[in-house]
Homo-oligomer: A and B are copies of this chain.
Amino acid sequence: MDLVPLIKEVDVALDRYLPAESAYPAEIHRAVRYSVFAGGKRLRPLLTIAGAEVFGVTLARALPAACAIEMVHTYSLIHDDLPALDNDDFRRGRPSNHKMFGEAMAILAGDALLTRAFELLATETARWFPPKTVVRLVAELGRAAGTAGMIGGQVVDILSEGKKVSAETLDYIHRHKTGALFACCLRSGAIMGGARRAELERLTRFAEKIGLAFQVVDDILDITGDARKLGKKTGADRERQKATYPALYGLEKARKLADALLEEALAELAPFGDSAQNLKALSRLLVCREA
């Protein structure tokens, strides 16, 4: 799986699916595009595309849904960085959205991306798939991004800051804050591909494991990573007394947990054979990354 051209395709599609920077009112479109094209790794679109590919869905058909999920992810980062939430001045080595455009525009840019994501499914994905499939995708994205998913995780994360957090709470945070959208990527791919129920459940289990592994690695990199490669300073979790896996289990045990989760995730893909080969390669990259 050659990621570079694929990431390029995702970027071209995102550019096509967002209003031009010059579109009136330009300020909001500048703010939106600043964060969407801030050098994100496009993990969620890649997962969506690789998940869809398992069921024979072509890149062109998977792209709008892949971009919709990336927009939801980007909105969540913009809002998370706000002073009232994580108060992060930097994101991927550049000033965060509100530092560039002010808080009002950052809040609205996040709102705009969340809104556009759903619109994108109903317009662009609707060109390729029957309406019934589109409705399922909208429901999936809504559930994954809502209070039973990503927002729920964010809420518990905020409420837990500076407190001693149990393993159960840490699990809840990550299963929801990161895991729900990861699952949405794979489930969306499977839904576009007309997967049977058992296959959909299998991909969901895969996503849950890989999402958790991803988060454990994230926590580890905050301790051992290279700030330059990461594009953000390390040690931030500790500074904020954030609940993390290394803090709870120790660094070595956390690393073992990530590896075990990756193996379990890959085992879920075994029945799909070669059609899941890109998804497998991508999973390894997610867990063995340095940034």
Residues of A within 8 A of B (CB): 19, 23-25, 27-29, 32, 75, 79, 82, 84-85, 102-105, 107-108, 110-112, 114-116, 118-123, 126, 130-132, 134-136, 138-139, 141-143, 145-148, 151-152, 154-156, 158-159
- If A151-B28, A155-B27, A155-B108 touch, does A118 touch B135 (CB 8 Å cutoff)? no
Whole-angstrom distance from the CB of A273 to the nearest CB of chain B? Answer: 32
Neighbouring B residues of A24 by C-beta, 8 Å: 152
Q: Which B residues are in CB contact (< 8 Å) with A114?
A: 111, 114-115
In the complex, the count of this chain's copies comes to 2
Indicate if the CB atoms of B155 and A138 lie closer than 8 Å.
no
In contact, A112 and B147 (Cβ under 8 angstroms): yes
Q: How far is the CA of A116 from the CA of B141 in the complex (A)?
A: 10
**Contact flag A139-B119 (CB < 8 Å), given A103-B84, A111-B79, A146-B112:** yes
A sample of 27 cross-chain residue pairs with beta-carbon separation below 8 angstroms, ordered by A number, consists of: A19-B148, A25-B156, A27-B159, A28-B152, A28-B155, A29-B147, A79-B107, A79-B108, A84-B102, A85-B107, A105-B158, A110-B111, A111-B111, A112-B147, A115-B142, A115-B146, A118-B141, A119-B141, A119-B142, A120-B142, A121-B138, A122-B142, A123-B142, A130-B131, A131-B135, A134-B135, A135-B138
Q: Are B152 and A123 in contact (CB under 8 A)?
A: no
Apart from A111-B114, A114-B114, A123-B142, what are 11 other A-B pairs with CB-CB below 8 Å? Answer: A19-B147, A23-B147, A25-B147, A85-B104, A108-B151, A112-B146, A114-B115, A120-B142, A122-B138, A123-B139, A131-B135
> Of all chain B residues, which has the CB nearest A79?
B107
